[in-house]
Amino acid sequence: MNRRRAIPVLAATLVLIIGACTAGGVGPGATSPVTGSPPVPPAATPPPAPITNPEQAARLVLASDPRFGGIGPYDPQAIGQAAWYEARTEGDRFRVTVRIGWGDCPAGCIDEHRWTYEVTRDGTLRLVEETGPSLPPGIVPTPEPSVVPSGPASTPPSVERTGVVGRVTAGPVCPVERVPPDPACAPRPVAGAVLVVSDPSGREVTRATSDAQGGFSIALPPGRYTLTPQPVEGLLGTAPPVEVTIVAGGPPVSLEIQYDTGIR
C-alpha cells in the first residue's frame, strides 16, 4: 500500500474507535443510559380522624377482633341477648366493654366472656381487662337473642315492656311447725328452677331459670300469660301454674313460687 492510500484508511479507523468509546460511556461527555422514570416520593398518609364519641370508640373496638363481628349495643329490654357492647366516656378517653355469653341465655346465660378496652381520642386501643372462661368452639356472636320466642309476633320497640319478678322457694323445711316460727324453718330458696311462660294459646313465649337465691326476672310486653314451673329434681311437689296480666306502664308483677319438699 502506498502512502497516499494509507492515510485515509488510518483516519477512518480512528473515527470508528472514537465513536465506539463515546457510545460506551467513555469520555468526558458520556452519560449513563436512562433505565426508568425518576422515583416518585410516597404520598403523605393523612392522620387518623380523632375519636369524639363513645360510638366511634365502640366501632374501632369491634373492628379490631373478628370475634366481635355482628355484635350490637346492649339492650336492657331484650330477652336472651347473648352478645352486646357498652361504651361510655371516661374523662379524656372512652371505655368499651364487649360481652359474649352462651348457655341458656334467655335466663341470663350460664357463662360469659368479657373484654374491656380503653380508647384514646387519637384512636389508640388498649385491652385493660379480660374475664371469663374461653369461648367454646362454634360460638358465633349475634346482636339478636340466642333463642327466638315462639309466641306471637315480636313486640315493636316502641311498646313499653315490663314483666314478672319473683322468688322460688321450697317448704316445709322442718317436720313440725313451731310457734313462734323458727327462722331456721323458713322456706329455702330453689336454684335452677325452670319457669316457662306461655301466651293464651298455650304457645311458649320465653322461659327463665331461678338464680342461686331463687330469684328470677322476666321481661314481657303487656298481655296475659301463664307461668308454669317445671319439676325440680329432689323436690316432691311442683309448684302450680300461675296466671299473670302485664299492664302497660305498670310495675312488674311480683310472684312467690313455692315447691313442696315432701317433709311432714
Provide the CATH number for the domain around residue 80. 3.10.450
Among 77, 109, 131, identify where a domain stops: 131
Q: 125-142, pLDDT tens digit by residue?
A: 899 988 888 877 666 554
Q: For the chain, how are helix, strand and coil distributed in percent, rounded to 5? A: 15, 35, 50
Among 111, 131, 151, identify where a domain stops: 131
Which residue ranges in the chain fall short of pLDDT 50? 25-34, 142-160
Domain assignment of residue 198, yes or no: yes
Please state the length of the chain: 264
Domain assignment of residue 8, yes or no: no
Three-state DSSP class for residue 20: helix
Domain assignment of residue 176, yes or no: yes
Query: Could you tell me which residues come within 8 angstroms of residue 65 by beta carbon, excluding any fewer than 6 positions away?
Result: 98, 115
Residue matched to cell numbers 335452677: 192
Q: In the prediction, which pLDDT does 149 show?
A: 41
Domain assignment of residue 113, yes or no: yes
User: What cell was used for 79?
Assistant: 330477652
Please check whether residues 175 and 230 belong to one and the same domain.
Answer: yes
Please check whether residues 115 and 166 belong to one and the same domain.
Answer: no
Does this model's pTM top 0.85? My answer is no
User: How many C-beta atoms surround the C-beta of residue 62 within 10 A?
Assistant: 21
Phi, psi of 17 (to 5 degrees): -65, -45
Domain assignment of residue 35, yes or no: no
Provide the CATH number for the domain around residue 191. 2.60.40.10
Three-state DSSP class for residue 244: strand
Please check whether residues 231 and 170 belong to one and the same domain.
Answer: yes
Please check whether residues 110 and 189 belong to one and the same domain.
Answer: no
Supply the Cα-derived Rg of the chain in whole angstroms. Answer: 39
Q: In the prediction, which pLDDT does 244 show?
A: 94
| CB of 244 closer than 8 Å to CB of 222 | no
Domain assignment of residue 33, yes or no: no
DSSP-derived secondary structure letter, 87: E
Structural domains in the chain (count): 2
Q: Is 217 left (phi over 0), alpha (psi -120 to 50) or beta?
A: beta
Domain assignment of residue 85, yes or no: yes
Between CA 101 and CA 83 the distance in angstroms is 6
CA of residue 68 relative to chain centroid, distance: 5
Q: In the prediction, which pLDDT does 8 show?
A: 58
What residue type is 23 in one-letter code? A
DSSP-derived secondary structure letter, 255: E
Q: In the prediction, which pLDDT does 179 show?
A: 67
Range of the domain at 105: 54-131
